[in-house]
Structure 1
Amino acid sequence: MSGQDAAPTAGGRLDRYFRLGERGTSVRTEALAGATTFLTMAYIVLVNPAILGQAGLPVASVAAATCFAAAFASILMGLVANVPLALAPGMGLNAYFSFTVVQQMHVPWPVALGCVFLSGVVFLILTLTGVRQLIVSAIPQHLFAAVAGGIGLFIGFIGLKDAGIVVANPATFVALGNLREPGAALALLGLFIIGALSVWNLRGAMLVGIVVTTLVAVLTGFARMTPEPYSLTALTQTAFKLDLAGVFRLSGGLAEILFVFLFVDLFDNIGTLVAVTKRAGLMDKAGRIPGLNRILITDAVATIVGAMAGTSTVTSYVESAAGVQAGGRTGLTAVVTGLLFLATMFVAPYAQLVPLAATAPALIIVGGLMLLPLSEVDWEDPMAAIPAFLTVAMIPLTFSIANGLAFGITAHAGLKLLRGKAERADWFLFLLAGLFVVRFVWMSAA
């Protein structure tokens, strides 16, 4: 009897807190939507450690940190902002962290984590003071799209490189690898599996592809299954290892690192928010996102906590749209997704058993899907096409998101001046462009 009385009470509390009835949904629908979102983005538990592991971070620890950060951020987003938006360490920024900041700029990974932490603090301050609006208004829409597309090519290129499908060549810089090599062959198998499952619209296609490819790698002897006793203490190898003191000992590169972490996180969030909230019908008639400040504050806090746990920038995931498609309309969807990530922590350290050949196909597929925003660029207008192309091309070709941003913003500002379209309101854009010019000069002299 008491159990029957308690159920409506619990359901009623959830209804009132998340406004389920008001948004035309139910606890069951939200739970299914949360599970759907989880399945579509669970690949990050395997892919993020594979990327950050190449920067020297312990793979098992990063896997646990990834689960913890995704769980904390998604639950917080659901409870505070009441939107069906899940978060996790972002693709693109994890590649920038590993390949540019740590490997190219030779920044130790604890210091790089300190940079992520500081970028989260700056993001929080900018959101609370309203300065983020100034930054958003200074950058044209076609550069948002170009950055997303450039990062997609960057991620795809990394996947092809990890798979051995694309290799270095002294004559042509890059060339086709030996596809008969076990790693390349396995990656192609994984690419086929994920592609086939994706066209059949199977939720969790990437996760299934990674797991199946890993099993094939184990069965063929390419990867060895050597499980070790599991303990949640695996998280302690990266938790609270960030080096804030080391951040302030960095030379001129600090401003660049912070800018990229901040810029990409900010606009990745804006783009994801627009896509997800529009599909969920949560935008008002003026095209505004209700509770935007709460959403961005949550994102900033999530990045800070993620850095302390031991992972790169945490951001909103466009895969949340899958949960919305399944009926999710409130923050309860995000809470369910977060709880599933929390449960995944208990198996996360076994991510170190997954070979690069198994995660590379996911990178290639994700990279391809990130090219969609390029359709928003007016390629017939040189004012938009030239800066957008430079941004898209320079990110993968220089292995640097910062270089792509620098070329795109500088080109946009320069073309505005040449066309006589500069306005007083563009002062921040020209300030950014001027700083990038100084950066180019400084890098050339170094």
Structure 2
Amino acid sequence: MEIKQKPNNLLERIFHLSENKTTAKREGLAGLTTFVSMAYILFVNPIILGDAGMDKGAVFTATALSAILGCLLMGFLANYPIAIAPGLGDNAFFTYSVVLAMGIPWQDAMAGVFVASILFTLVSLFKIREIIIDAIPQDLKYAMAAGIGIFISFVGLQGGGIIVNDKSSLVGIGSFTVPSTWLTIFGIFVIAILMAKKVPGSIFYGIVLTTILGLVTGIIAPPTSIISLAPSLKPTFAAGIMHLSVMTSPKMWAVVLIFFLVAFFDTAGTLIGLAQQAGIMKNGKMPRIGKALMADSLSMLGGAVMGTTPTAAYVESSAGIAIGGKTGLTAVVTAVFFALSMIFSPLLEIVTSQVTAPALIVVGVMMASSLREIHWDQFEIALPSFLVVIGMPLTYNVSYGIAFGFLTYPILMVAAGRKKEVNPLVWVMFVLFLALLYTLNAIK
């Protein structure tokens, strides 16, 4: 059935609605669905970056603004129904690997994010990004996504009190006599059941219901208010720019490299998968890929200035696409809802780590699903992929996990007689990660 639109309609001229066989109403509903599905990041990101010592209120505002910027750029520049916001893998690496494990102040770490975002924008501008993406083995890309997912779940299990430190075995089971632990368990089951029933916004609703239970039972103290003006960006704004002098240190360039790589592969894989779902792919290629990557890069740069970790295309966009979102109008509507949400910052007081822990665990499950794509029947691929996946949570460091994979993959491929299949850039990565591993270990 052909959908008619007025030829002089502004939305039609900008987003080509009839050409994409959609309507403004359908795109609006898709945008709302996408927002509800990813709104949890407004509360999860401040919790994670708050562990690094950053001001939670400022991070809340930076999260919302960077999401608004990313969604608007993706909508108007690339005309894709894909939303952008700070990525979970990147904020976990920032806090737990860089700030806490390496002992780098968050201001210095943010300088690394800023430099990585500039490099990110440059490689997108000069179309180098596609070349590097093609050079990296697909199996290691899948392993990186899965490893970060398992690492995020591990952080969630810790934050919820289900897994605790144990002197004899490093980690052990938490105490089930602690009410807050049961709050986390409740949240896991609520989100899991909603996910199993394929309810859009399952994670967001799970956080809301878990918070309500915490308030009713007295585990969580009630908020002093619900609505207020968005917190000031001042505590985090341009912090990275003001600390660029730390970039003379080799360990900071190691941090930049990892931020760059993680953000690099995260968005690329998500964009391709979502474009496939939305029916945007043509002859196996993604049209306007350059504009989509530039939208992602500019939002990452803007987020770094405002005070948040790298942004990424959100897989939760699939919820909006599933109900008919096909154009950038979906992303623009998502941005509008992020703008409206900025008045609810006082709710940060009641969204505790026990409330956000279930969200981290479930997102980890979703990211770990890429394990099924790895060629486990080929040992020269299986071992490097396994080391990437297991290395991240066990070393509590994303960079170590990635390094383990890149240091073993080319050697095993040569041993298996598949030397010609190893892209020369992989050998460059081998040398870089060897230097990275040495640097990270030397600065402990």
- Shorter-chain TM range is over 0.9
Alignment of 1:365-404 (within 5 A): 365-404=362-401
Alignment of 1:127-142 (within 5 A): 127-142=124-139
Runs of 4+ in 1 over 6 A off after TM superposition: 8-11
Shift of 1:30: 0.4
Match of residue 37 from structure 1: 34
1:70–1:89 contact (8 Å) kept in structure 2: yes
Match of residue 258 from structure 1: 256
C-alpha distance in 1 between matches for 2:341 and 2:441: 47
C-alpha distance in 1 between matches for 2:437 and 2:33: 45
1:103 to 100, 105, 109: 100
CA pair 289-162 structure 1, distance change in 2 beyond 3 A:
same
2:228–2:345 contact (8 Å) kept in structure 1: no
Pair 1:315 & 2:316 matched: no
C-alpha distance in 2 between matches for 1:233 and 1:438: 41
Shift of 1:354: 1.1
Moved more, 127-136 or 385-394: 127-136
Q: Which amino acid aligns with 1:256?
A: A
CA pair 356-15 structure 1, distance change in 2 beyond 3 A:
same
Shift of 1:218: 2.1
C-alpha distance in 2 between matches for 1:36 and 1:233: 26
Moved more, 79-88 or 203-212: 203-212
2:6–2:12 contact (8 Å) kept in structure 1: no
Alignment of 1:306-345 (within 5 A): 306-345=303-342
1:63–1:349 contact (8 Å) kept in structure 2: no
Alignment of 1:58-207 (within 5 A): 58-207=55-204
Q: Deviations over 1:63-94 (max 9, x none)?
A: 12111111111011100000001000001110
Q: Deviations over 1:320-373 (max 9, x none)?
A: 111110100000000000110011111134323211111101111111111111
Match of residue 224 from structure 1: 221
1:395–1:402 contact (8 Å) kept in structure 2: yes
Q: Deviations over 1:169-211 (max 9, x none)?
A: 1111111111221121110011111112222222211111112
Match of residue 271 from structure 1: 269
1:394–1:407 contact (8 Å) kept in structure 2: yes
Shift of 1:249: 4.3
RMSD between aligned residues: 1.8
C-alpha distance in 1 between matches for 2:6 and 2:423: 55
Pair 1:358 & 2:347 matched: no
Alignment of 1:288-299 (within 5 A): 288-299=285-296
Shift of 1:433: 0.6
Q: TM-score, normalised by structure 1?
A: 0.94
Shift of 1:106: 1.6
C-alpha distance in 2 between matches for 1:441 and 1:116: 21
CA pair 430-303 structure 1, distance change in 2 beyond 3 A:
same
C-alpha distance in 2 between matches for 1:83 and 1:442: 40
Alignment of 1:14-25 (within 5 A): 14-25=11-22
Q: Which amino acid aligns with 2:162?
A: I
Listed as ranges, the gaps of 5+ residues in structure 1 are 1-7
Q: Which amino acid aligns with 2:185?
A: L
Alignment of 1:400-411 (within 5 A): 400-411=397-408
C-alpha distance in 2 between matches for 1:180 and 1:200: 30
Shift of 1:28: 0.4
Match of residue 248 from structure 1: 246
Shift of 1:442: 4.5
Equivalent pairs, count: 438
Match of residue 284 from structure 1: 282
2:432 to 431, 435, 443: 435
Q: Deviations over 1:350-407 (max 9, x none)?
A: 3232111111011111111111111110111112111110100001111111111111
CA pair 111-334 structure 1, distance change in 2 beyond 3 A:
same
2:187–2:358 contact (8 Å) kept in structure 1: yes
Q: Secondary structure at the match of 1:371?
A: helix
1:61–1:349 contact (8 Å) kept in structure 2: no
2:223–2:349 contact (8 Å) kept in structure 1: no
Shift of 1:119: 1.0
Q: Secondary structure at the match of 1:237?
A: coil
